[in-house]
Structure 1
Amino acid sequence: MDAPPARTEPVFQARGLTKVYGEGATAVHALRGVDLDIVRGEFVVLLGASGSGKSTLLNILGGLDTATSGTAQWTHAGETHELIGADDAELTRYRREHVGFVFQFYNLIPSLTARENVALVTDLAEDPMKPEDALALVGLGERMNHFVSQLSGGEQQRVAIARAIAKNPQVLLCDEPTGALDCATGVMVLQAIEHVNRELGTTTVVITHNAPIAEMADRVLRLADGRIVETRANTHKVAAAGLSW
């Protein structure tokens, strides 16, 4: 699968991001001066071992955490907004209106059907897609009325993806979305994420420690010890269906 044409419109720009937890001798430096640019529609994989700073960086970009120092901006409809220093109300609005999150564990409500889990988000969004359309996009149109307990792990993760994209977010941030799944099931989940990026043009960032997954990205950023130590573009992307680990 060939890489898409180059894009130039920025979504995220970060400079000198640091994140320190604690103080003194027990302080943990999760990020150490990260510079980052992500453009609209790009599929980026953040690759690295546990403790490399991947999740901290993703949480800052998603407005779930704030940096100790540095700058981070996001751009929407030609307007640039500061993430560092934004107050709680601004970050809440940013997360609600512009960001879709997918985590390793699905965080679904077992007593609700797949469609009802997705509808929880669409009821709050300004311009959502129909829950049925979001579930169809991830290949679960025929399973929408099943309860969570009736779904496999891979299906539950795809419901979580449908829930994340149903509000038509500007960006989709995925933290180890296949971490609790076997290879075959993980590939199905990655195909759903790939489809969302391609069909909706949603800027997508996926965290993984699993190197083969990086082959499906437009660009790969490898982190170690709180720094981006390698950046590479995939001139020939591998479709999710062709991955194995």
Structure 2
Amino acid sequence: MTTATQNNVLEVKDIQTFIGQFHILDGVSVDVPDGSITVLLGRNGAGKTTTLKSIIGLTPPRHGAISLFGKEIQGEPAYRIAAKGIGYVPEHRAIFRDLSVEENLRIAERKPGDLARRADFIFDLFPDLKRLIKLPGGNLSGGQQQMLAVARALVPENRLLLIDEPSEGLAPVIIEQMMVALRRLSAHTTVLLVEQNFIMASQLADRYTIIETGRSVKSGLMSELVNDTATIKRYLGAA
């Protein structure tokens, strides 16, 4: 496993983010080692989604630093940050319901021919999408829409994926399919994940950072956190 102090794809240092007049993040730091799955944990409203949005440039931080591949990116527009090799899978999927699966994927191309180059990889991860390629996104089940949302971020060859709540609203059997896909995906790209389902997170992630009321309060190896019942109960509300 890559250490947290070397070969970090992403380093977030003490960022502070406002949405309007509201001070949402007040000191969040996260290290994401190359080749890892790192998960952001915390109760609802802690600031996990805002952390992802701050990284990708949708809610730029006012203070602190964000480094991608060793170069600071805070303050750049979202489209430039994405072009540096970050894929973003937002909460609630945000697919285009009136477009076909193929059209949803094709509009994610960063360069002409991206989808053709990545199609085998994408459809090997999510074979349902190949079968449903001409179907409108709105006709897909919730699980299939989540697969499409992740697949869309895979069309360009991104080196880092930010994935927000991939298990939200999914049946247990679909969650298991998503876990299998994310495990396989992590062999090819680094993942920063927001996940409320602690069982899923504990089985997927190499490392974790806990966010509490807009601050990062604890981070480390997931293999150590799963045995730390006091920390789990204190910050996540689970025994």
Per-residue deviation at 1:223? 1.0
Aligned-partner SS, 1:108? coil
Query: Structure 1 counterpart of 2:79, which letter?
Result: T
Aligned match of 1:81 in 71, 80, 86? 71
Deviations 1:198-235 (A, max 9, x none): 2x2x1101112222122110011111111112213134
Which of 209, 216, 219 is the matching residue for 2:207? 219
* Cα drift, residue 163 of structure 1: 0.9
Say if 2:199 is the partner of 1:205: no
Equivalent residue, structure 1, for 2:177: 188
Aligned to 2:111: 125
| CA distance in structure 1 between the aligned counterparts of 2:156 and 2:106, rounded to whole angstroms | 10
Q: Please, which of 21, 37, 43 is the counterpart of residue 37 of structure 2?
A: 43
Change (3 A) 1:97 1:120: farther
SS of residue paired to 1:33: strand
Cross-structure match for 2:58: 64
- How far apart are residue 22 of structure 1 and its match? 4.3
Residues 135 and 159, structure 1, Cα contact 8 Å, conserved in 2: no
Contact 2:56 2:86 in 1 (8 A): yes
Q: Secondary structure at the match of 2:54?
A: helix
Alignment partner of 1:154 is 2:154: no
> Matched residues in 1 for 2:176 and 2:136: separation?
23
Q: Is the 8 A contact 2:2 2:33 kept in 1?
A: no
Instruction: Indicate the RMSD between aligned Cα atoms, in angstroms.
Output: 2.5
What's the offset of the Cα at 1:66?
Answer: 0.9
Query: Which residue in 2 is equivalent to 1:32?
Result: 26
Q: In structure 2, how many angstroms separate the alpha carbons of the residues matched to 1:73 and 1:120?
A: 27
Does the aligned pair in 2 maintain the 1:173–1:205 contact within 8 Å? yes
Aligned length: 221
* CA separation of 1:120 and 1:211: change in aligned 2, threshold 3 A: same
Counterpart in 1 of 2:231?
none
Letter in 1 for 2:100: T
**Which segments of 5 or more consecutive residues in structure 2 lack a partner in the other structure?**
227-239
What residue identity is the alignment partner of 1:154? G
Question: Does the 8 Å contact 2:97/2:139 carry over to 1?
Answer: no
Residue identity matched to 1:153: G
Does the CA-based 8 Å contact 2:39-2:208 persist in structure 1?
yes
TM-score normalised by structure 1 residue count:
0.80
Equivalent residue letter for 2:181: A
- Cross-structure match for 1:94: 81
From 224, 228, 231, give the equivalent of 2:216. Answer: 228
Task: Show the counterpart of 2:233.
Answer: none
* Residue 97 (structure 1) shift: 4.6
Q: Work out whether residues 30 and 51 of structure 1, in 8 Å CA contact, stay in contact via their aligned partners in 2.
A: no
Is 1:135 the counterpart of 2:120? The answer is no
Q: Identify unmatched segments of 5+ residues in structure 1.
A: 239-245
Q: What's 1:20 paired with?
A: 18
TM-score, structure 2 normalization: 0.81
Change (3 A) 1:19 1:150: closer
Stretch deviating more after TM superposition (97-106 or 59-68) = 97-106
